[in-house]
Every structure is written in structure tokens, then in C-alpha cells.
Amino acid sequence: MDPLSITASIIAVIQLTGTVVSAVYGYRKDVKNAPEDAAKIIHHLIGLSQILEKLLQLIEQERSVKTAQLSSVEALLKPDGPLELCQKTLQHLNAKLRPEHGWRGVKQSLVWPLKKDYIKKTLDDIAAAKATIGLALTVDQVSLAIDTKSGVDALTSSFETFRLDEERRAALSKVSPVDAAISHLKARKKHQVGTGDWLLASKQYLEWVDGVASFFWINGIPGCGKTILCSVAIEDLIQNHQQYKVRTAVAYYYFNFQTREEQQFVNLLRSITLQLSCQCPRLPNSVQKLQWQPEWVFSCEYLVGIIEDLLKEFQDVYIVIDALDECEQNEEVLRWIEGLLEKKNDQLHVLVSSRQDYHFQLELERLASLMLKLDQQTFAKDIETYIHERLSTDPRMKKWPSDVRDDIKQSLVSNAGGL
């Protein structure tokens, strides 16, 4: 298929995506209490549109390289292929969102028309298509790199972005004494499937993800689930943003009052330095020098400068910091974040969770462009989901009569107090 036909097909799907997004926005604006599903649909469709835009850019680049053959992209346009699936799914979704004419149409336009099961299947289909398109995009980017004059260098850089050689990894291993991935895995084990998804569809989160130099503060009482929410956000950033956005990095840190090492500001900086370095396609000189530096050199001031050098290597950097109130030097952390934002690091997005503490609450309210206060109502659905799952799957409890389990569920939900 010639490039013009491929381009036309992709543009048609992008335009249809925009039409559906506009229709969903209309329901969010006009329908009282429009469900969070509307925001979730918009979020997924914007992601689809972004990856299709990258396909267009790749095709434009291919035109300047006569020998390049984008076979993977062409495969996307086969009958019943991912692009056709996207188009059919979007057409069906668009039809459901368009009310009929006359009084019946007026009545329809006042009610959210999509059922939960339909939304889940639709988003699953779109996610599957996005994954296939993303894989084809990666394969053909590598093929195109080989066909260009600088193909070998581009290919080498691409692989280094995701897999550092053992020597480099060993050199960086001394940078951080705290493995943030272990804390993240612990948080994920506590996560109940289906809970926390509302955060990803919230207005604050979506604005933070796409904002410029954005700072999002999530706050609530101890034990209300802030750590789990941070883990949900981190997974979303890795799976749905880093995977499809060029030169995008995700770094995170969980402060922990139970372990002294995990309470210190310097170890936050060391962990962020390591994580960004492992994702960086080209290490700045300041990072390369770390290989020969003794550990006592890793002061806060020294690491702050290195992180600023690393930020310049990315188009987007997402940093998630959980439990700021459990850090011994939380005021220093805030001064560091403020310094980064003041230096016009537009590519930076910082999410911080903490309880409301009068020692730094005013400072966070001043710095944060977006805030979310967690309360009992916020978590009511998550608590109900968790309790229902436990009562249904626990070997002993699932044997109890259904009315007994219902009474227990109602009692626990009403008395949970947001915990």
C-alpha cells in the first residue's frame, strides 16, 4: 500500500477519535453526575490519538528514505487488522453517543448511554489495538533507523534506552542504597484489582499528566490508601505513558517511617538519580563521572545538580513521591521541588502524597497546582469492592450464608471511616 493511502486511513481514525472525544465531553458538560467512565474514555482515546500521530510522523520520515519498507505498519491496515478494529469500535461508540431525533433524542441526551460492560469491552479492544500498533511502531522505527545514514547509532541508542550493559548497570548500582522497586512491589501486592481506577479518570490526574511543570498533591488521613493510589499512578505512567511517549521517564520513591534509610532526603535523590540514569539514552558527563566517585561525594547538593542534568535528556519526566510526611527532611524536599519548577523544567510532572500536616501544609498548598483531598466518600466504592472480594474469595467466609455476608459488608463499609 502506498504511503498516501496509509496516511489517509490513519487520519480517518484520528478524526473519528476526535469526534468521539467531543461527544463524550458533551455528556460530561450537559449530563448531571456524568460518570467517571466518561473521563476514562477520553483518557484512552487521547492515548490512541497520540500513538496514531506518531505513526504519521514515521510515515513522513519513511518518504525521505527510499529503501525503507514499513511492513509492520502496512500489516496494521489489513482487513480485520488493528486499525480497522479501532475504526469499527469508534464508529459503534459514536453511534451510541449520538441521540436520536425528536423527543426521544432529547430524553436520550440527558442520560449517560453507555453501560459498564460495554465500556469495559470497548476500552479493552482499544487497549489491545494500541499495544499492537505500538509494537509495529517500534519495529518499523528500528527498520527505518537501519536504512538511514546514522542508522547504527540510532539503533544502538534505542537499545541502550531500555537495556544498559552489565558494566554500566554495575557502575550505577552503588548510587542508591534503597531499591524503590521493592517498595513498589509491596504496594502492588496490597492493591485490590478494580480499586483506585477512579484516580486515573479524575480531572486532577489527567491535567497533571498533560500539564506543564505540573505539581499534584494528594492528601488524606493516615491509613486511607495514599500509598496504594501512588502505586496505581506509577503503573499507569509506566504502562500507558512511558511505553507510548518518546523520551519519557518515570521515577518514584516511597518514604517509610519504619526504616531509617527510607526516611532520608539524600536517598530519595540517589534513587531518582539511579532511575533516571537507567532510562536515559545518553548519560550526561556528570553521571558518567559517578562511576569513579566514592560514596561520600553523594551529597544532596551534588545529586540535585546531576538530576537537573538528567531532566534535560527527556521530553517528559514523571516523579511520584509517596508519604512525604514520613521524610525526616520534608521541608528540604519541598525546596528541591520548588527549585526544579522555578527553573522552568516544563517537562517535569511531580506527584506527592502526604497526610495534612501543619508543618508543611501551607507550603504544599502554595506550590501545588493541583490538589486532591481524600475522604470517606472518595474511598467508599474502593472499600466496598475490597470487602466484597474478601468475603467472596476467603475459603472460610465464602461458605457463610449470603445474608450474613451482606450484613458484614454493610457494617464494615459504614464503619470504615475512609480507612
Q: What is the pLDDT of residues 102-122, one digit of tens each?
A: 444 444 455 778 888 888 888
The residue among 5 and 340 whose pLDDT is bigger is 340
**pLDDT at residue 167, rounded to an integer:** 44
Rg of the chain on CA atoms, in Å: 24
The rounded percent of the chain whose pLDDT value lies above 70 is: 72
Q: Is residue 324 over pLDDT 60?
A: yes
Domain parsing of the chain, residue ranges: 3-162, 166-374, 378-415
pLDDT per position as a tens digit, 63-96: 554 444 555 566 677 777 778 888 888 998 888 8
pLDDT per position as a tens digit, 174-191: 787 888 888 998 898 888
Three cell numbers, residue 16: 473519528
**pLDDT at residue 107, rounded to an integer:** 42
Q: Is residue 234 over pLDDT 50?
A: yes
> What's the rounded mean pLDDT across residues 268-297?
84
Residues 350 and 268 sit within 8 Å (Cβ to Cβ) = no
pLDDT per position as a tens digit, 35-47: 677 878 888 888 8
Residue 8 CB neighbours (<10 A): 10
Q: Is residue 150 over pLDDT 50?
A: no
pLDDT per position as a tens digit, 189-205: 888 877 888 899 899 99
Confidence of residue 138 (pLDDT cuts 50, 70, 90): low
> What's the rounded mean pLDDT across residues 219-234?
90
Per DSSP, which regions of 212-306 are E strands? 214-219, 248-254
How far apart, in whole angstroms, are the C-alpha atoms of residue 92 and residue 16? Answer: 11
**pLDDT at residue 152, rounded to an integer:** 40
The residue among 122 and 291 whose pLDDT is bigger is 122
Q: Which residues pair with 352 in a beta bridge?
A: 217, 321
For 353, list phi and psi in degrees, rounded to 5.
-115, 145
Residues 38 and 24 sit within 8 Å (Cβ to Cβ) = yes
How far apart, in whole angstroms, are the C-alpha atoms of residue 215 and residue 350? Answer: 5
The residue among 68 and 277 whose pLDDT is bigger is 277
The distance between the two most distant Cα atoms of the chain, rounded to a whole number of Å, is 76
The residue among 355 and 7 whose pLDDT is bigger is 355
The CATH homologous superfamily to which domain 166-374 belongs is P-loop containing nucleotide triphosphate hydrolases (3.40.50.300)
Q: Is residue 360 over pLDDT 70?
A: yes
